[in-house]
């Protein structure tokens, strides 16, 4: 269909007061420009060109995982018309339509983009401008119409006081026919308050030539809001989160307090799951149905099965929790922790690169790292897998049905056989065969009358 996308992302974003390029700041867990790329991808464009400038290398680097993007550098940045001209090296010989987007406008919907393309094509327009009608148009370019038709766009700094009262604003998002586009853009001058090459001037250029310029008015102006400052970014994050929670609730998820639910865009949650207040679900996280996630939980890039309960204040990153398991309160699952069906992890238990087999339990105060734990294993309070010998990490294997007594240290590499017992307080340096009991603490010795003797000597201390 000869559709191309160009995204402007060269600006410095001065008001962000940041060492990082503006388009890499995150809204709802995703860099601003990733939101734009995801929406643009819905159009299945033939090419996608990103105009970078300020900290170009950082922006390119952050987007490496996308294939098929072309980067062009705009240096110095002389305005939006100049930015579009830099894409001529990619699109100069292309045919069809280019959709121009901004890297700092993250909430634009797929429906609006599709509308834009549809209107542009059905009206055979040379250019189509996305506009919005707002209560406070301050800072935006205004749409000046003659009759129904758009006549030109005037920037706020160049507008008369009558023009400033116009409430229809320019979103800065357009569709352009590529034929003749770059020649027309080249004719734009810098006779304006900011001495910049304004792309907005193209509307008047086309209208004077009698060409057809169309507009599409977005129903909800939030879609075209850009990020210029940290507080605008927070405002857009709020909107993005509200959209996400509304979507989830419509799909059967209970969110007790949507205002305190921080759920990233790509998170999925099954029906009848209950999200208590103050929960953060981030990145590429999936949660099944019928779960209950209590307050203060943070889950990042993790997969949670069905009917899982996560009690308060757990941190779960890059981990898996299978169906019918229970975790927490105050558990820490990280880096490939793998909790199998019906397993149970209690308070102050940390798991890393560890499988906790089906129906196994570690209820209190444990560190389980680089371990493979079978089914129906009981890990006593205070158990530690000593996985690090100062140079490398070693494996602990605990086979099905084993029982690890409280306060045990398992010095890896070590294997505890199926059904074996480890006595409380043991330091296990050697494998324990299946069915054995391993004890390592010395024999207990009681010193009779010690407390009384200690009491007397203490009293005589005090008299002195
Ligand atoms: C622009 C529009 C204005 C519109 C507003 C919507 C012009 C002249 N004005 O104004 O009508 O209401 O957007 O948000 O187009 N950029 C570059 N290179 C440049 C200049 C800008 O890549 O040389 C990029 C910026 O990184 C940004 C976008 O273009 O993503 C918009 O630039 P900005 O300077 O913010 O334009 P506005 O003054 O907001
Ligand atoms: Ca802007």
State the Cα angle at 258 between 254 and 263, rounded to 5°. 90
- Of 162, 135, 158, nearest to 204 by C-alpha is 158
What number of other Cβ atoms are within 10 A of residue 288's Cβ?
Answer: 20
Give the ligand with the smallest distance to the CA of 80: 1
pLDDT for 12: 86
Q: How far apart are CA 188 and CA 16, in angstroms?
A: 29
Would the pTM count as exceeding 0.85? Answer: yes
Cβ–Cβ < 8 Å for 185, 84? yes
Cα of 33 from ligand 1 centre, angstroms: 15
pLDDT for 42: 94
Ligand 1 atom closest to residue 81's alpha carbon, by position in its atom list:
15
pLDDT for 447: 95
pLDDT for 460: 67
Give the ligand with the smallest distance to the CA of 13: 1
Q: Would you state the structure tokens that stand for residue 409, as one six-digit string?
A: 């240290």
Cα of 26 from ligand 2 centre, angstroms: 17
State the Cα angle at 156 between 203 and 81, rounded to 5°. 40
- Of 437, 433, 442, 383, nearest to 411 by C-alpha is 383
Q: How far apart are CA 112 and CA 130, in angstroms?
A: 9
pLDDT for 33: 97
Angle, helix 110-122 to helix 32-41, in steps of 10 degrees: 50
pLDDT for 455: 85
Q: How far apart are CA 404 and CA 386, in angstroms?
A: 14
Q: How far apart are CA 272 and CA 280, in angstroms?
A: 18
Domains and CATH numbers, the chain: 3-224 (3.90.550.10), 243-438 (2.160.10.10)
pLDDT for 340: 98
Whether 10 lines ligand 1, by a CB cut-off of 6 Å, is yes
- Residues in the chain predicted with pLDDT less than 50, given as ranges, are none
pLDDT for 146: 95
Whether 77 lines ligand 1, by a CB cut-off of 6 Å, is yes
Cβ–Cβ < 8 Å for 120, 212? no
């Amino acid at each position: 269909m000869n559709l191309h996308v160009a995204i402007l992302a060269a600006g410095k974003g001065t008001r962000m007061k940041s060492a990082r390029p503006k388009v890499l700041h995150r809204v709802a867990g995703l860099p601003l420009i990733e939101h734009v790329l995801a929406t643009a991808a819905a159009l299945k464009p033939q090419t996608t060109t990103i105009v970078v400038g300020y900290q170009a290398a950082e922006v390119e680097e952050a987007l490496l995982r996308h294939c098929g993007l072309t980067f062009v550098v705009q240096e110095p940045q002389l305005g939006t018309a100049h930015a579009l001209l830099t894409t001529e090296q990619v699109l100069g010989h292309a045919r069809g339509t280019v959709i121009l987007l901004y890297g700092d406008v993250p909430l634009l919907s797929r429906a609006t983009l599709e509308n834009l393309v549809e209107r542009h094509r059905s009206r055979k327009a040379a250019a189509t401008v996305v506009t919005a009608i707002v209560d406070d148009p301050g800072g935006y370019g205004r749409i000046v119409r003659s009759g129904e038709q758009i006549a030109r766009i005037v920037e706020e700094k160049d507008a008369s006081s009558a023009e400033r009262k116009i409430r229809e604003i320019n979103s800065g998002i357009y569709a352009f026919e590529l034929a003749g586009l770059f020649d027309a853009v080249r004719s734009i001058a810098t006779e304006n308050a900011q001495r910049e090459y304004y792309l907005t001037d193209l509307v008047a250029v086309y209208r004077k030539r009698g060409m057809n310029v169309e507009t599409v008015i977005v129903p909800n102006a939030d879609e075209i809001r850009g990020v210029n400052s940290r507080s605008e970014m927070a405002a857009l994050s709020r909107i993005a989160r509200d959209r996400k929670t509304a979507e989830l609730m419509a799909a059967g998820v209970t969110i007790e307090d949507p205002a305190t639910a921080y759920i990233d865009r790509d998170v999925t949650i099954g029906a009848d799951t209950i999200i208590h207040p103050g929960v953060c679900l981030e990145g590429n996280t999936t949660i099944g149905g019928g779960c209950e996630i209590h307050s203060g939980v943070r889950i990042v890039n993790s997969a949670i099965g069905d009917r899982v309960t996560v009690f308060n204040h757990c941190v779960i990153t890059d981990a898996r929790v299978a169906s019918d398991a229970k975790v927490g309160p105050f558990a820490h699952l990280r880096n490939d922790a793998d909790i199998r069906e019906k397993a149970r992890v209690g308070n102050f238990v940390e798991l890393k690169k560890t499988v906790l087999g089906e129906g196994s339990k570690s209820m209190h105060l444990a560190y389980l790292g680089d371990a493979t734990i079978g089914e129906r294993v009981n890990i006593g309070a205070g158990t530690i897998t000593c996985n690090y010998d100062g140079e490398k990490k070693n494996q602990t294997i605990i086979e099905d049905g084993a029982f690890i007594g409280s306060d045990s240290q398992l010095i890896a590499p070590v294997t505890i056989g199926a059904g074996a017992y480890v006595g409380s307080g043991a330091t296990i340096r050697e494998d324990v065969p299946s069915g054995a009991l391993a004890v390592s603490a010395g024999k207990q010795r009681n010193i009779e009358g010690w407390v009384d003797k200690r009491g007397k000597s203490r009293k005589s201390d005090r008299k002195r």
